Structure 1
Amino acid sequence: MNIAFFLLPKLEVVCITIQYTLRQTLEKMEHHRYTAIPVLDDTGKYIGTITEGDLLWFFKNQEGMSLENAHRRSISEVPMRLDNRAVRIDANMDDLIRLAKVQNFVPVVDDSDNFIGIVRRSDIIDYCASKIFVLEHSSEVG
C-alpha cells in the first residue's frame, strides 16, 4: 500500500515555522485544539514537532516567563523533547506503523526533505483494523 493514499497534504496541516513566537504557537494550538504540531524551517523543511509539554516545561524553567511576555520569545528557543521522525513519501506501511506506535502523526517529506504533509495515527489504525476485519471474515467463510 502506498502511503500517499493516507497523506493529509501540507495545505491542510496546521503547522508553524521556526519564526513563530511562543504566544503565536500557543494560540494556534489552542484554536485548533492540538497537543502537537509540526515545525518547519523557513524553506519548508521539517524540523520537528512541538508539543504542549515542550511549551509547559519551557515556561516552568525560564525565569520570569509568563503569557504576558510570551510574544517576545521565539519557538526556536524551546527544546523539543521528542524526536518525532518523518518518513519519505516512498516509505512502506511497516515504517508508518512503527512510528505511529509512539507518535500521534507521522510527518512525510519528499526526496529533498521538504515537508509535504502528515499521516494521522487514526488513519493508520483504521487501515490496520480493516485488514484484521478482512482476515477474520475470510477465515469465517473459508
Structure 2
Amino acid sequence: PRYSTLKKIMNALEEIERERVKATIIMTPNVVYANEDEPLLKAITKMIKGAFSQLPVKNSEGKIVGTLDEETVIKSTLNYDPDELQKLKVKDVMKPPLPSVPPDASVRMLITLLSESSAVLVVDRGGNVLGIITRSDLLEYFSDKKQQLGGREGN
C-alpha cells in the first residue's frame, strides 16, 4: 500500500485505541454451534443456511471442544466418498477450538489473533460464550469507522 494509505490505517487504529473499543462492540452475539456427535452433513447444512464460515463445536456437557470451518468441510467432501460422508460425525473432522478473548479485549489483540485464526470467541470469566468475532466482523467495523472518520471509497 501507499504511504498515505498506511498513514490513514494507522490513524484509524490510533483513534480506535483512544476510544477503547472492546470486543463486545464488534462481536456477533447469539452464536450458533455444532454438536460433536451431530452428523457432519447436518452441521454443513447449518453452515450453509446461516451463511457461517465456521461453527464452534460443543460436547454433550456444553463445553467448546472444537471448530468446524469451511476448509474442513471442503477437505471432507474431497477425502470421503458419499457413503462415508453420510456416516461422519462432526467430531471426526473438527479442528481445535477457536481462540477466546475476554469481553474487554482490545482491537489490537483481535487483529493479532485474527491474523492467525478465522475467528475468536468472546468468553466471560465463567467460561460462557458471549459472542464470536470473524475477520469479516472486524473488516466491517473498520469500514464503518472509516466512514465515520470521513474516509471515502477508493482512498
Give me the identity figure in percent. Answer: 25
Q: Deviations over 1:16-69 (max 9, x none)?
A: 1212111211221222233322212233333332123213334544xxx43345
How far apart are 1:118 and its partner, in Å? 0.7
Residue 113 of structure 1 pairs with residue 131 of structure 2: no
Alignment gaps of 5+ in structure 1: 137-142
Change (3 A) 1:47 1:83: closer
Partner residue of 1:76? 91
18-27 or 39-48, which deviates more: 39-48
TM-score of the superposed pair, with normalisation by structure 2: 0.65
TM-aligned CA distance change 1:102 to 1:53, over 3 Å: same
Residue 14 of structure 1, aligned match among 16, 19, 32: 32
- Tell me the TM-score normalized by structure 1: 0.70
Closer, same or farther: CA 57–115 of 1 in aligned 2, 3 Å: same
**Residue equivalent to 2:23:** 3
Q: Which residue does 2:66 correspond to in 1?
A: 48
Q: Superposition RMSD on alpha carbons, in Å?
A: 2.9
Residue 104 of structure 2: aligned partner: 90
Q: 1:133 to 1:30 in 2, by over 3 A?
A: closer
The one-letter code matched in structure 2 to 1:2 is K
Query: Which residue among 40, 48, 52 is the counterpart of 1:34?
Result: 52
Question: 1:98 Cα shift?
Answer: 1.4
SS in structure 1 opposite 2:56? strand
- Any conservation in 2 of the 1:36–1:52 contact (CA below 8 Å)? yes
Aligned partners of 1:45 and 1:114 also within 8 Å: no
Aligned length: 130
Alpha carbons 1:15, 1:37 under 8 Å: kept:
yes
Moved over 6 A (4+): none
